[in-house]
Structure formats: C-alpha cells, structure tokens
C-alpha cells in the first residue's frame, strides 16, 4: 500500500524555503552577546571573533539576529566590513593567535630552577 506523500512533499518544499539554524548558533550567540557587552576599544580577540562570525554568517540562510547584532557591534566600533577585514589581517600578520595574551611571558618555565639558592 502506497501512502499519501503529498504532505511529505509539502514539508520538503517548505524546508527548502525556510531559514536554517546553524549548528554553532548557541555558542556564537554567546560570543555576539559578549561583543555587544564589551566596553572600550576592541582588542585582537574581539576583532577576530567579529571577523570570524561575519564570515560564517554572511551567506548563511538564517541567524538574522546574529547578523543584525554583528552590524551593531561594527557600528559601535566605527568599522565597516572592509575596515574590520583590514584590522584582522594586521592582527594575524603580527603573529597573534586566539587565546594568546599580548604581554604573556614566552616559554614553559621548565628551564627555571625555582629552588632558593
């Protein structure tokens, strides 16, 4: 017995036209909220996070709230997409990497003897 597939066909057609939810939406939403709440000038972590999220969501069919809030963040910072890309390229070219503190000491400390002499 063949069942009625017209409902399934409508569901498939509807899903093709509807907006999608990105698999990283929840964590990305938290990052965008943190960017919105940041006071002061953005640092390398803020700028590269905004750049990464703009790349991720610019052509994504959904997450309109994230796209709008990233636009707000950029307006607060006085940047457009090109300006953000320029700053991100400068940051990456400087050798900076995510999680790296600008004033962090280099090395593991394994070569330092911490016994009192």
Kindly list the distances between the CA atom of residue 97 and the CA atoms of 25, 44, 45, 93, 101, in Å, as whole numbers in the listed order. Answer: 23, 9, 9, 10, 9
Q: Report the percent of the chain where pLDDT is more than 70.
A: 72
Whether residue 114 is predicted with pLDDT greater than 90 in this model: the reply is no
Measure the CA–CA gap between 42 and 68, rounded to whole angstroms: 18
Number of Cβ within a 10 Å radius of residue 13: 10
- Minimum mean pLDDT range among 48-52, 83-87, 90-94, 105-109: 105-109
- Give residue-wise pLDDT tens across range 12-59: 444 445 788 888 999 999 999 999 999 999 999 999 999 999 999 999
Q: Where are the domains of the chain?
A: 22-93
């Amino acid at each position: 017995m063949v069942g009625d597939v017209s409902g399934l066909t409508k569901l498939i057609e509807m899903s093709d036209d509807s907006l999608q939810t990105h698999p990283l939406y929840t964590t990305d939403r938290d990052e965008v909220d943190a960017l919105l709440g940041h006071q002061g000038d953005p640092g390398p972590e803020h700028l590269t996070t905004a750049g990464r999220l703009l790349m991720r969501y610019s052509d994504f069919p959904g997450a309109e709230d994230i796209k709008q809030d990233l636009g707000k963040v950029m307006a607060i910072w006085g940047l457009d997409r090109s300006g953000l890309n320029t700053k991100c390229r400068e940051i990456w070219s400087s050798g900076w990497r995510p999680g790296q503190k600008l004033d962090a000491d280099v090395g593991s400390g394994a070569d330092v003897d911490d016994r009192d002499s």
